Structure 1
């Protein structure tokens, strides 16, 4: 792997872990998610406009990825409302690479070498091992913080598995779609869908007050 790609991958992993930590600790996970989506979208806009390139063939991939992102954010928020990050995050991120590999083989026709396949399974096993699937989850971070949300580790685990499938789905789709668009233009259009959907539904159901409070 080129050093630039490795650096970007490590940076993305750090950013993603930080985002999940903040989300899991938020008092109002739904409102925090909506605000984070809006802020992230605003940050991407100028860079996307400066580097704009989006072929028409990329549009189906962008739309499909955006819809999966809607499911991803909704399921992730629901999982953190029910279970601790120490259960949700390793389960979702540990299973996702294995599912990506399966989808890439079945849908894209990828033919990984044996070392590549073993590497994916070892990384996934390592992430899950750190968590310990047999260890009880205990109280959620939200409950410990005094937010009043009750932990439900079983449902949280099921939602985390669903999150893993959405991650795998949009990863495979984006890998194909980004062949026909610049990264930030693609990201802007794709993230517009969950941003509008998530923030719009939240405002419709609860009004704008939760967004201001978050």
Structure 2
């Protein structure tokens, strides 16, 4: 279980890095989503549809995932990987915990309060306390992540197969977003094929693998444990952003991303 979720973390950070590396964000997300849609359809054909009880969750998650992709796409237009990624990923567990306190009346334990404070401080450092487009889009991405994580965490357990759940989810979400972006680009007479196509296709394959692995783990382990392990991806994203993409403040953001992981672990495991 540990190996699968850590692999998913590395894979998730890697496909985000590929999306950021491709200088045309809409091209990258178009082909990433077309790829996950094709793979999703293949899995639906192979495994069949998930249980009927899971269908409403898949439909809701598809809508949320489309919003998530739009926010993330535009985040990378204005911000660095080592800034956007930890902000978006680190915010989600905080929102889920605070939402449970405000809406469901769950009491906050001292460990959760400590975790929230640690994460908030680290995220403030990454954001550099400047209200930029990248900041607001990253925060919106974090909200979308927290929403689909909760929906899928429940929905996948109602399905007979995480592969069937992931297949239908990505077929719907990836198909809608990928074809939608393609239609817009064609109307704008922008190319839909460039030399960066192999990178985008690789990003799509990694994206599917990363989330399919998480769904598999959510069927078999507590959601909090999976979430804590998954958020180690912010460290990998900071390393890639600072070392490979040559983004500024790489070392500082790496330290902050590591602190985010510590805060997330304290928050969800307490």
TM-score by length of 1: 0.76
Change in 2 beyond 3 A, CA 1:45/1:55: same
* RMSD, aligned α-carbons: 2.8
CA contact (8 A) 2:40 2:170 kept: no
CA–CA distance in structure 1, aligned partners of residues 167 and 32 of structure 2: 14
Task: Determine the structure 2 residue equivalent to 1:159.
Answer: 137
- Deviation of 1:123 (Å): 7.1
Match of 2:163 among 184, 187, 199: 184
CA contact (8 A) 2:36 2:171 kept: no
Change in 2 beyond 3 A, CA 1:102/1:135: closer
- Secondary structure in 1 matching 2:127: coil
CA–CA distance in structure 1, aligned partners of residues 149 and 141 of structure 2: 12
Q: Does 1:211 align with 2:192?
A: yes
Q: Give ranges in structure 1 of 5+ residues lacking alignment.
A: 137-152
Change in 2 beyond 3 A, CA 1:104/1:43: farther
CA–CA distance in structure 2, aligned partners of residues 17 and 199 of structure 1: 20
How many residues align structurally?
A: 192
Q: Does 1:40 align with 2:36?
A: yes
TM-score by length of 2: 0.62
Task: Determine the structure 2 residue equivalent to 1:121.
Answer: 116
CA contact (8 A) 2:32 2:178 kept: no
Q: Give ranges in structure 2 of 5+ residues lacking alignment.
A: 198-270
> Which whole-Å deviations, capped at 9, do the CAs of 1:54-101 have from their partners, x for residues lacking one?
221211111110000000001100111112222211111111111122
Match of 1:92 among 84, 88, 91: 88
